[in-house]
Amino acid sequence: MLILIGFTGYANAQYGIPPPSIDAQTSQNFYEYGDSVSVSGKIKNYDSNAYSDIALTYRVLDPNGELATLGQTNPGQFGAFNFNFIARGEVFEPSGNYSIEITFSSANTELPMFFTGGESEIEDVIPPEILQPADIIIYSKTHEGVTLVTYEVFATDDTDELIRPTCKPTSGYLFGIGDTIVKCTAKDSAGNFATPVSFTVTISPPETTIPSWVKNVAEFWCQDQIADASFVEGIQYLIDKKIIVVSGTSESSGDSQEVPQWVKNNACWWSDGSITDLDFANGLEYLVREGIIVV
Strand partners, 182: 199
Fold of 129-204: Immunoglobulin-like (2.60.40)
Q: Return the sign of the alpha-carbon dihedral for residues 264, 242, 145, 164.
A: negative
Q: Using CA atoms, how far apart are residues 264 and 270, in angstroms rounded to an integer?
A: 10
> 222-239: per-residue pLDDT in tens?
888 888 888 888 777 777
* CA pair distance 285, 295, nearest whole angstrom: 10
CA atoms within 13 A on the CB side of 122: 18
Q: What is the pLDDT of residues 10-50, one digit of tens each?
A: 445 454 668 899 999 999 989 988 889 999 999 999 988 88
Measured distance CA(53)–CA(55) in Å, rounded? 7
> How confident is the model over 82-100, as pLDDT tens digits?
999 998 877 887 889 999 9
Give the residues across from 154 on adjacent strands.
Answer: none
Whole-number CA gyration radius for the chain? 29
Residue 262 has pLDDT above 90, yes or no: no
CA proximity to 130, closest of 167, 89, 92, 100:
167
| CATH number for the domain formed by residue range(s) 2-115 | 2.60.40.1930
Residue range 59-75, pLDDT digits in tens: 999 999 999 999 999 99
Note whether 2-115 and 129-204 share their fold: yes
Domain boundaries, the chain: 2-115, 129-204, 214-289
Whole-model pTM: value is: 0.39
